[in-house]
Chain A
């Protein structure tokens, strides 16, 4: 419950957003500190930038030129300043600007994450509601057991098994890559507009979304069962409202309030988990880039990816909070009306 005493709902909302923004900036700065520490202390930046034949004097000169001899705070400040303009330096491994690398691969990851997020939400809520309302019948029993397997199956194993069944045995769907992609605008290359692009998306999207779907489903089911036990649902039944009105008008709406939060946060996890899916399906996204950077200790890419994921999480958190605020009237403390 908010305890902001504002004259009207508008400035109330503003204060709420402002506070969340401040929190977000603090989180981002913390993550930046970790990323910077990575940069500064993992491996020797100079050693990874120059060849064997560079002399010690040249190295010292470079060290000075790069500002590596500045005080820690100054270096961190510079790092943050450069990072906020999208400058994360050059990849040790690929010798290209990190930001360029990431941006060229981001559309692939975002398309994959979005499609699997939608899949996970739609099926997760649907199955969750069904299993909560039809507790004890054989179909919900089957769904619940299947969901347990879904939670226990590592993502990569789901991917491998899907490839085996649908790509190797049945040969219905491609097993790797994005298919044909189309340039849209300057930065975006999409696979959604071609048939092979869409076909290539199916298996990775299911792989990536399955785990999140089972999570959402179990959450929706648990919340729904909880809500169905509340007094206001009993009272709604006692007033003779139809099952449909009680279940979907009252229970589902109240269920969705907490579900929105978790689902929003899951979207962030989906982007992070895409590391695994992208590796299995050789999907040319940022996750695959990150895995290779970990393998080769390519620190600038690791640091940039960390910041990117943090940014995604922070933005999603912010949006989720705002959504929450919009859905639950109890959070809108409009004092003008709150008279007793």
Chain B
């Protein structure tokens, strides 16, 4: 009994291990390192409240005397030692990075999710309905594609702020940011799904579904999603890197998350202010974290695209 149930599963694992994608992963040291770094940062961000030695957002635990402590050196007043030093308010840089990465990743993942759901839905509608709906959506996509997404995100952010009463702007900022970044990046998903839908919809099983009274769109979704999983995954991975960068950029420009919830971009903006006075660590460590995160996710996306599309190799 155990033999029969155990064997197929073992085979599936063996097959996955032997598949081209896995082979390519094992033979690409860069991809392995990138995956390791991404997972490390993501885990550290998720478990920030348990890992971080300090809570940078709890004013009660902050001691202004601890301000500007250099990394690995005891503070001249309190004698406290911080791995990566502290900022002007005495916040532990390591802890702010963990919490900052948490916000950066949250915004990044949510924005990608939003863009994906929006893109897949619109792509399905455009591909299935065709006609003027399709032309309109694709024209919008074309026009949108000619503008850099960061500009679009900025505009959407500005517009949304115009609609939101000033009293709520701070509280809604993160969600506005997610919508702004997500809206600026739905086009690629839509194109892939639209293409696949147009191929599938003429096939017989869709017609058959109509005959038995099932809604063809539901069936299409079930058949198309597996087909576009690969490209969507690639777009989403690279999209995650782009979203993280976009969030950091907007926050750096001072139009992103509020400074009460600093993301990596905000931390870099704060750190830039201390560049000329010599407190380099306030800038450097968040920058390295952002770079490591963006680079490793980008590398993963790059590798994934090549691995799923051997023709490009």
Chain A contact residues, CB within 8 Å of chain B: 27, 30-31, 38, 42-43, 148-149, 151-157, 160-161, 163-164, 168, 265, 268-269, 272-273, 275-276, 279, 290-291, 293-295, 297, 299, 302, 306, 309-310, 313, 317
Contacts and interface: CB of A to CB of B under 8 A. Distances in A.
A30 B252 CA distance: 31
Interface string B216-253: 00000000000000000000000001000100110011
Given A164-B280, A295-B254, A154 B249 contact: yes
A157 B162 contact: no
B122 interface: no
A202 to B, nearest CB: 18
A299 B157 CA distance: 12
A164 to B, nearest CB: 6
Given A297-B158, A309-B151, A152 B253 contact: no
Nearest to B163: A42
B177 interface: no
Contacts of B254: 291, 295
A295 B265 CA distance: 16
Interface string B259-298: 0000001001000100110001001000100110011001
Contacts of A160: 268, 272, 275, 283, 287
A313 B146 contact: yes
B34 to A, nearest CB: 10
Contacts of B253: 156, 275-276, 279, 291
19 contacts: A42-B159, A42-B162, A149-B295, A152-B295, A154-B245, A154-B265, A154-B290, A156-B249, A157-B248, A160-B272, A160-B287, A164-B283, A273-B148, A279-B252, A294-B155, A294-B158, A294-B161, A299-B162, A302-B158
Contacts, number: 106
A152 B299 CA distance: 9
B266 to A, nearest CB: 12
B148 A269 contact: yes
A336 B269 CA distance: 63
B252 A156 contact: yes
Given A38-B159, A148-B302, A309 B291 contact: no
Interface residues of B, number: 37
B150 A291 contact: no
**Of residues A155, A297, A310, which shows the largest number of chain B Cβ atoms within 10 Å of its Cβ?**
A297
B143 interface: yes
B154 interface: yes
A268 B298 contact: no
B256 to A, nearest CB: 11
Contacts of A299: 162
Contact of B287 (A161, A268, A306, A310): A161
Contacts of B162: 38, 42-43, 297, 299
B291 A153 contact: yes
B308 interface: no
Contact of B155 (A152, A156, A302): A302
Given A163-B275, A168-B275, A152 B158 contact: no
Given A297-B161, A306-B155, 19 more contacts: A30-B143, A148-B298, A148-B302, A152-B245, A153-B291, A153-B294, A153-B295, A154-B265, A157-B248, A157-B291, A160-B268, A160-B287, A272-B151, A291-B253, A291-B255, A294-B155, A294-B161, A295-B254, A297-B162
B147 interface: yes
Contacts of B287: 157, 160-161
Contacts of B143: 27, 30-31
B295 A157 contact: no
Contacts of A272: 147-148, 150-151
Nearest to A154: B245
B157 A294 contact: yes
Contacts of B252: 154, 156, 276, 279
Contacts of A30: 143
Interface core residue of B157, B162, B241, B245 (most chain A CB under 10 Å)? B162
Contacts of B283: 160, 164
